[in-house]
A and B are shown apart, each in its own frame.
Chain A
Amino acid sequence: ILNVEQSPQSLHVQEGDSTNFTCSFPSSNFYALHWYRWETAKSPEALFVMTLNGDEKKKGRISATLNTKEGYSYLYIKGSQPEDSATYLCAFALKTSYDKVIFGPGTSLSVIP
């Protein structure tokens, strides 16, 4: 059974703090790694898709890195704002069935004003 893990499960940070969390996935049969942000009562929103080992992507204050050899990705948020409060999901796509993604359980972030 393929497993995608995320840590921590949840965290609370003060406004202005920077934070990061981890997604771990199987290092073999890798095709792509997706990050989504999911705010309560809204649709999950795609943040990044990464395919190459060493990839780094950035969108405003949010950035992500990818290490396919050891099977992990980090998501960083610089200077967290209350509007960053959401659940952050990563999803792993297999080379042999890249159509499908396997989701991690998510990291729930609360940014306290």
Chain B
Amino acid sequence: GAVVSQHPSRVICKSGTSVKIECRSLDFQATTMFWYRQFPKQSLMLMATSNEGSKATYEQGVEKDKFLINHASLTLSTLTVASAHPEDSSFYICSARRRLGYEQYFGPGTRLTVT
């Protein structure tokens, strides 16, 4: 149990377009989902925390108008990178957590390349 999928796994887009990444918990209800970003050779950096049905909480320095997060159901959260630019190119990965417990279950990540 505790499988999280992420789609797409890889996306290449042109500068100025918006990209949506989906994160789904396949066999459990995720009351909380987390979005991380990883730059080459660096740690996973938390971008935002989202609870089902409420607005996401963004970490300092993360633009909420640029990285739009929607956690519309207990199994789905989406991250939309609005008007993507080359500096948004990165590896984005989500995780999901059940109501009880603090273990996070991760998706496989999405590699975004903006040209």
Contact = CB atoms under 8 A, between A and B. Distances in A.
A42 B44 contact: no
Interface string B34-49: 1010000111111001
Given A4-B43, A99-B32, A100-B46, A44 B106 contact: yes
B8 interface: no
B108 A42 contact: yes
B30 interface: no
Given A99-B32, A105-B41, A46 B105 contact: yes
A108 B94 CA distance: 21
Contact of A105 (B43, B46, B104, B106): B43
Most A-side CB within 10 Å, residue of B4, B42, B106, B107 = B106
B32 to A, nearest CB: 7
Interface residues of B, number: 20
Nearest to B38: A103
A99 to B, nearest CB: 6
Contact of B43 (A34, A98, A103): A103
Measured as residues with beta carbon below 8 angstroms from the partner, the interface class of chain A is 20 to 34
Interface string B55-74: 00000000000000000000
Given A41-B108, A43-B107, A100-B49, A49 B102 contact: yes
A43 B43 contact: no
A44 B105 CA distance: 8
A72 B94 CA distance: 26
A46 B36 CA distance: 16
Interface of A: 4, 32, 34, 36, 41-46, 49, 89, 93, 98-106
